[in-house]
Amino acid sequence: MADHDTNVRPYASIERRSKTKPPAREVALLLNELRGVPYDAPSLLESLALRDIGWRLVVVYCRISNDRHRRDGHGVQDQAKHCARIATQHRMIVVHRYVDNDRSASKLGVKRPEFDAMLDALKLGTTPAGFPIDGVVCVSDDRLYRDVHTYEKFLKCFIAHPSRVYADGVGSYDLYSEEAAQRGLLGAVAARAESKKQAHRATLNHRARAERGEPVAVRRPFGWNADLLTLHPGESEVVRRGVQSFLEGKTLTAVTQNFVASGFTSSLGNPWQRQTVKQILRNPRICGYRKLNGTLILGTDGKPVVGQWQPIVSPAEWQLAAESLERKRHPGGWQRNGAAPGEGPTYLLTGLVRCGRTLIGGQQCGASLCGYPTSDSYLYRCRTALDGGCGRISRQGPAVDDLIAQYALAALDRQAMLDARSAIPWPDAQRLETATHQKAALQEQWYAAEISDSDYFSQLRQRETEIKRLVNEQQAWFIRNRPGAHRQAGEQARWDGLSVIEKRGILFALLESVIILPGTKGSHRFEPSTVIPVWRTQPTNSAL
Ligand SMILES: [Zn+2]
């Protein structure tokens, strides 16, 4: 990002003085660099693994405004940065940026190719690089649409898939609600103008307090008393010992088990999970520092601001622990999710297969199943309770993969058949139409009493026989000419020839998830009925 600044700033400062526009080429270059997958985005594999533990993969939309200010491309770069901050606040990962330049087409009516590309991706469910889309981030919704029609178009594509989140500088919104569907642009702008001002003031206040070293936690952090300042003796000791044993080489799992054994729950009253413990160990609060939007708050001297609360460990200890956790995240990480370092994913369905076991409360476990190698094959298995699963379901990996591949091929085949039906017309369509018209004309004649009953019924029988024959012929023709009939074997071979990443791209586009239900107790036979594909959009039935 820094080098963009140095590239463009000279033009920007000239513009402010002399109103000289920056060369269009410079702006175009800058926009191009901002477009697509951000350079610091995690790989598809890492993103999917992060998605498994609750992160959402989102796309960002930026637009150079036609405002009097910021015509130089800086505006859009700031937007991208701001969007990244918004994403972090909402536990989101930016996997694609769509950037439009309104200026280039302002006179001829506004064209926004990137906006349209984003709508297509939202409709499809995945970005061009194959990332599933869980939401959209934007600095403010007036970047996205300026009229009701565009808003409705956006909304339709956005809600084409369930459980997405929309966030902007003000907050995150449920666009599936009735209110969202009904609100027009004008209403939205009026309603949100005031809340934007308030939110902006709140942000400033938040940062100012953090810079003064005042605690800004919304709820009591684990380890401290309700005053947010003094240490809770028991809890802080658990954290201190946790950091120490982690630095002595204990695994995060072992440290989490110690948290569990302490008898304390998290400050929200939840049982401990590795993820929660990891967040505590990585949080600079434990050494008196504070991060806002991912960076340490620094004082005017450039050193971290030391908070007014009592620290649990020294800054050096926190830094070592946090760095070690960061390292574990990247190279060499994610084996438990099936990704070996530097290779493609080992398991076809990681990220899609979920546990369908019913828990005591009645709801489904729902945890993402991990691939585990066995001596001769592999399994999909529910995570342990420490990782947010029930640990009670496992299923033969190859059998599940094969079954889902068959389902997917059948779905693609149905799709191809429908496409072919609209592409290759049935040669006798005209005859069927004529016969249908003749029947209708005959009925009208009879209603108008122009023909006798006996003539009508004998002719009607003839017409109906003809129509029925043609319809049968049409159906047979479609079945004979359906691409799947010839290509079945070829499709299977093509599928087998794809890489795991390519296969995963197809499966993620087709499927929302694959639910694995418990099998018959004591049986080791694979039961296909316990594997439930959940389609992104219901595959169309071949209704002839
Ligand atoms: Zn489970």
* Phi-psi sector, 421: left (phi>0), alpha (psi -120 to 50), beta: alpha
pLDDT (0 to 100) of residue 315: 93
CA of 338 to the centre of ligand 1 (A): 18
CA of 401 to the centre of ligand 1 (A): 19
Is the pLDDT score of 447 beyond 70?
A: no
CA of 85 to the centre of ligand 1 (A): 33
* DSSP assigned state of 52: H
Is the pLDDT score of 445 beyond 80?
A: no
The band of 107, judged by pLDDT with boundaries at 50, 70 and 90, is very low
pLDDT (0 to 100) of residue 428: 80
- Averaged over 46-69, what is the pLDDT? 79
**Could you give the CA distance from residue 461 to residue 455 in angstroms, rounded to a whole number?**
10
* Count of alpha carbons within 13 angstroms of residue 397, beta-carbon side: 20
Kindly report, residue by residue over 113-135, the tens digit of the pLDDT.
Answer: 899 999 999 999 999 889 999 99
The band of 223, judged by pLDDT with boundaries at 50, 70 and 90, is very high
Better-scored residue on pLDDT, 267 or 103? 267
CA of 385 to the centre of ligand 1 (A): 9
pLDDT (0 to 100) of residue 65: 60
CA of 336 to the centre of ligand 1 (A): 16
Better-scored residue on pLDDT, 103 or 526? 526
- pTM, rounded to two decimals: 0.40
CATH architecture of 233-330: Alpha-Beta Complex (3.90)
Instruction: State which of 37-51, 327-341, 476-490 shows the largest mean pLDDT.
Output: 37-51
How does DSSP assign 156-199, residue by residue?
A: HHHTTSSS-EEE-SS-EE-TTSHHHHH--HHHHHHHHHHHHHHH
- Averaged over 483-488, what is the pLDDT? 53
Average pLDDT, the chain: 77
CA of 524 to the centre of ligand 1 (A): 18
**419 phi and psi angles, rounded to 5 deg:** -60, -45
CA of 155 to the centre of ligand 1 (A): 34
pLDDT (0 to 100) of residue 496: 84
pLDDT (0 to 100) of residue 539: 42
Are the C-beta atoms of 87 and 94 separated by less than 8 Å? Answer: yes
CA angle 518/519/523 to nearest 5° reads 145
> What are the structure tokens assigned to 393, written together?
């379901």
Better-scored residue on pLDDT, 318 or 214? 318
> What are the structure tokens assigned to 468, written together?
């029925």
Please enumerate in sequence order all residues whose Cβ is within 8 A of that of 458, keeping only pairs 6 or more positions apart, or say none: none
pLDDT (0 to 100) of residue 338: 36
Kindly report, residue by residue over 411-442, the tens digit of the pLDDT.
Answer: 877 766 666 555 566 778 788 888 888 887 77
CATH class in words for 2-186: alpha beta
Kindly report, residue by residue over 236-277, the tens digit of the pLDDT.
Answer: 999 999 999 999 999 898 999 999 999 998 877 777 888 889
Least confident of 81-90, 144-153, 336-345: 336-345
Is the pLDDT score of 352 beyond 70?
A: yes
> What are the structure tokens assigned to 123, written together?
């409709």
> What are the structure tokens assigned to 238, written together?
């658990």
Is the pLDDT score of 307 beyond 80?
A: yes
The closest alpha carbon to 188, from 237, 231, 146, belongs to 146
Q: Where are the domains of the chain?
A: 2-186, 233-330, 335-424+484-544
* DSSP assigned state of 37: S
CA of 355 to the centre of ligand 1 (A): 5
CA of 523 to the centre of ligand 1 (A): 19
CA of 255 to the centre of ligand 1 (A): 22
Is the pLDDT score of 14 beyond 50?
A: no
pLDDT (0 to 100) of residue 330: 41
Percent of the chain with pLDDT over 90: 22
The band of 139, judged by pLDDT with boundaries at 50, 70 and 90, is confident
For every residue of 261-289, which 3-state class applies, written as one string? HCCCCCCCCCCCCHHHHHHHHHCHHHHCC
Instruction: State which of 1-5, 263-267, 359-363, 526-530 shows the largest mean pLDDT.
Output: 526-530
Is the pLDDT score of 479 beyond 70?
A: no
pLDDT (0 to 100) of residue 386: 79
CA of 381 to the centre of ligand 1 (A): 8
**Could you give the CA distance from residue 11 to residue 224 in angstroms, rounded to a whole number?**
51
Neighbours of 44 (CB within 10 A): 24
CA of 354 to the centre of ligand 1 (A): 8
**355 phi and psi angles, rounded to 5 deg:** -80, 130
CA of 408 to the centre of ligand 1 (A): 24
Query: Residue 319: exposed, middle, or buried by beta-carbon count in 10 A (0-12, 13-18, 19+)?
Result: middle
* Cα→Cα distances 286→100, 251, 328, Å: 43, 19, 20
Amino acid in the structure at residue 458: S
pLDDT (0 to 100) of residue 106: 40
The band of 7, judged by pLDDT with boundaries at 50, 70 and 90, is very low
Better-scored residue on pLDDT, 421 or 205? 205
The band of 522, judged by pLDDT with boundaries at 50, 70 and 90, is confident
Is the pLDDT score of 344 beyond 60?
A: no
